[in-house]
Amino acid sequence: MTEFRLPPLVVDFNQLWLRADVHGDGADWPERAAAELLSRQQWAAYRTADGERRLTALMRQAAVIARTQAGDSATMGFILIPSPEEGVKGMAAFSPVDLAGRDAAEAWDDLLEQLAPELPGDYPPDVTPVQTKAGECRRLRMRYAAGAGPERPAGEHIAYLWVFGDYGAAVVMTISFADLLEAARWLPALDELAAGVWLQRYPGEGESKDGPGHATPGGLVEVRPARPAGKLLPAEGWTLDHWRLTADAGNGTLTLTGDRYRSGRARVFPLAAAGRSDGVTTVCLATYRWQVRPGPRSIWRMLLLDREGALVGAGLGRAQTQALRLFPPEVFEPLTAAGIRVVSESYDSAQALEDAHSGAAGKVALTGANRGRMAAIGLTAALLILIVVGVAVYFTR
């Protein structure tokens, strides 16, 4: 009997999809989601102050829809949002199922039989095998009719089922469409999403080389930035070629290279897995509002934290909208194979970030929020303030 464990699934998805906040514990998700969409070429027309506000409002509505559809069972969800004109078309929710001691062959039959009553329809379900990176799954298409009478509108429930006997678990991906034509239109996109599901095996369980990072049998995980769609911004090409975050479980090290533009110097940090009390256990993707003129900016920074949440090291601070072009959260998911947690945190100010993780904001950012401390940090911050003042004067003319 295999004891239930949550399968470590990773999903490769294209720009039709947006990862959802299914648990509702990310208060800043609408802002982060809007920033991610703005980094995509099809949303370029919204790269204005008014466009960003409208898009953030849409993402707040999407967050409510995602939490409602996810319920208590979903562990992961992806919102189908193909373009600004079409908006949100639905959400594919991933939910684990405990096999309760059944072997894989028995579980397939039982679960397929159980899914049909859970997703009722007026027609027999269509069951089709689909090959994915995580192995074979079964796609179920079930029509349903709402209301009563011969003119009832018909819709379709679509589900994808995986069985992972080694984990004592199955996973079901579900989505519904209120219109049969819409269901048929988006079926290829759903098949592609399912095909991009892969199993991130932990050290000693095997090897996986898919996704933006990969793990080797020796416990080596390398994370690389994702290439954004469209034309690259200045310095993005260099970052794509040189930025790497490498976790070596065998040597107990985490190495960051190419974080500074035109600087290939590597920085090496200890991992807690090597027995170091000050070793890295968590990669925190932190954003905070930086109060500078002519207006506040959202800054993104990768923090390396120990088991107590203390700062071990940090990457370069970047404008959030530009950072998400290269570093969407899913880029860092392979780090879980090295026993490193990946979390996202958001703060209203640089000082709030500093209060949570001492040293995380940096002196220049804190000075932007409190000019009275400028003299304590030297010439660099003084020059920055002069530049900000100059820009402010320009905008008042």
Regarding predicted confidence, which is higher, 212 or 160?
160
Question: What pLDDT is attached to residue 397?
Answer: 38
pLDDT digits (tens, 9 = 90+) for 256-307: 988 875 555 788 899 886 567 789 999 999 988 876 555 567 889 999 999 8
Task: Work out the pLDDT band at 380, boundaries 50, 70, 90.
Answer: very low
For the chain, give every domain's residue range.
9-199, 213-361
Question: What pLDDT is attached to residue 80?
Answer: 95
Task: Work out the pLDDT band at 373, boundaries 50, 70, 90.
Answer: very low
pTM: 0.56
Residues 6+ away with beta carbon under 8 Å from 113: none
Regarding predicted confidence, which is higher, 150 or 91?
91
Question: What pLDDT is attached to residue 109?
Answer: 83
90 has pLDDT over 60: yes
Query: What string of DSSP letters covers 184-230?
Result: HHHHHHHHHHHHTEEE-PPTTS--B--SSEEE-TTSEEEE-PPPPSS
Residues 6+ away with beta carbon under 8 Å from 105: none
Question: What pLDDT is attached to residue 33?
Answer: 86
185 has pLDDT over 80: yes
The tokens describing 361, both together, are: 């904001």
Query: What string of DSSP letters covers 232-272?
Result: PPTTHHHHHHH-EEEEETTTTEEEEES-BTTB---EEEEBG
Q: Out of 51-55, 203-207, 308-312, which region has the weakest mean confidence (pLDDT)? A: 203-207
Question: What pLDDT is attached to residue 364?
Answer: 61
Q: Which CATH class is domain 9-199?
A: alpha beta
Task: Work out the pLDDT band at 95, boundaries 50, 70, 90.
Answer: very high
396 has pLDDT over 70: no
Question: What pLDDT is attached to residue 123?
Answer: 67
Angle between helix axes 49-70 and 29-38 (nearest 10 degrees) is 120
Residue type, 68: T
Residue type, 208: S
pLDDT digits (tens, 9 = 90+) for 168-183: 899 999 999 999 999 9
